[in-house]
Amino acid sequence: MSHRILLLGAPGAGKGTQSKKLAAEYGIEHVTTGDALRANKDMETEYGTPRSFMDAGELVPDPVVNEIVNAALKEADGFVLDGYPRNLSQAEYLSEITDLDAVIFLDVSEEELVGRLTGRRMDPETGEIYHVEFNWPEDEEIQERLVQREDDKEDTVRERLRVYRENTEPVIEHFRERGDLIEVDGEAAPDTVFERLTDVIEG
Ligand code: AMP
């Protein structure tokens, strides 16, 4: 069975949701640069704080994210990697520090991505993700404390998608050319997508 899984896809493709479920299913670590950076947004680095890049929808400099991933993978036996690599130089670094058992691309159309991202809300207490249209909590107390990620506002979403096309699509192409890429249709309900993922991982 594959225990070193790389999940690729655009912002909003469902990598976070699915990675969490995969980590629980297989008892492996969920390694996500996005969450790690959000938890350290105001950390001073020689390039400035992660916040200055993230709130604008830009990539945080490679040395900062490479170090996060290196430290996390050293401690993990099995893992699902989410949100990294986002450019070819990160992909090159990753290939130097680990081998992968499965590289999966979660495919979602761009129209769908914008709606998913701008409607996304997060519960700051539990980290749970909701959506104004597709997954609104019934509990009023939860409703009231939900927040929108700064970078889920429409202008920043457009910029993140531009950065994705420019920097991350070549990474997907790179794995496709190597013949390593498993493509999974990500445009379905989360449980359906999860089944598709476990099928390809166990298949
Ligand atoms: P995410 O939660 O994966 O959408 O990431 C949110 C933001 O964190 C991105 O828009 C980037 O600013 C930053 N970030 C996350 N992962 C990376 C990465 N691998 N390389 C550079 N920046 C990243």
CATH number at residue 9: 3.40.50.300
Q: Specify the pTM.
A: 0.94
- State mean pLDDT over 124-147: 95
Question: If you measure from the C-alpha of residue 195 to the centroid of ligand 1, how many angstroms do you get, rounded to a whole number?
Answer: 26
55 within a domain of the structure (yes/no): no
The answer as to whether 85 is a domain residue is yes
Domain contains 11: yes
The encoded tokens of residue 187 equal 């445009």
Task: Write down the catalytic residue from 4, 86, 116, 121.
Answer: 86
Residue 161 Cα, ligand 1 centroid: separation in angstroms? 12
Task: Determine, yes or no, domain membership for 46.
Answer: no
Q: Are 164 and 9 in contact (CB under 8 A)?
A: no
pLDDT of residue 2: 54
Looking at the 3D structure of the chain, how many domains does it have?
1
How much of the chain, in percent, has pLDDT values that exceed 70?
Answer: 99
Q: What is the spatial distance between Cα 121 and Cα 129, in angstroms, rounded to a whole number? A: 6
Please give the distance, rounded to the nearest whole angstrom, from the Cα atom of residue 48 to the centre of ligand 1: 15
Q: With cut-offs at 50, 70 and 90, classify the pLDDT of residue 203.
A: confident
Assess whether 145 carries a catalytic annotation: no
52 located within any domain: no
The number of residues making up the chain comes to 203
Please give the mean pLDDT across all residues of the chain. Answer: 96
Q: Looking at 4, 15, 20, 21, which residue is catalytic?
A: 15
Domain contains 42: no
Q: Is the pLDDT of residue 1 over 70?
A: no
User: What tens digit of pLDDT does each residue of 85-122 get?
Assistant: 999 999 999 999 999 999 999 999 998 999 999 999 99
* pLDDT tens per residue, range 154-170: 999 999 999 999 999 99
Shortest-distance Cα residue to atom 14 of ligand 1: 34
Each residue of 186-201: pLDDT tens digit?
Answer: 999 999 999 999 999 9
* Ligand 1 center from residue 138 Cα (angstroms): 30
From 41, 145, 149, 158, the catalytic residue: 149
Q: Is residue 54 part of a domain?
A: no
Q: Which residues are near ligand 1 (CB < 6 Å)?
A: 11, 33-34, 37, 53-54, 57-60, 65, 83-84, 86, 90, 151, 160
The Cα–Cα gap between 36 and 34 comes to 6
160 has catalytic annotation: yes
Examine residue 196 and state whether it is found in any structural domain, yes or no: yes
Per residue in 49-91, pLDDT tens?
Answer: 999 999 999 999 999 999 999 999 999 999 999 999 999 999 9
The rounded percent of the chain whose pLDDT value lies above 90 is 97
- Helix 110-118 × helix 154-163 angle, to 10°: 140
Domain residues for 105?
Answer: 4-28+77-202
Between strands 29-32 and 120-122, the pairing is unpaired
Specify the ligand 1 atom closest to the Cα of 38: 8
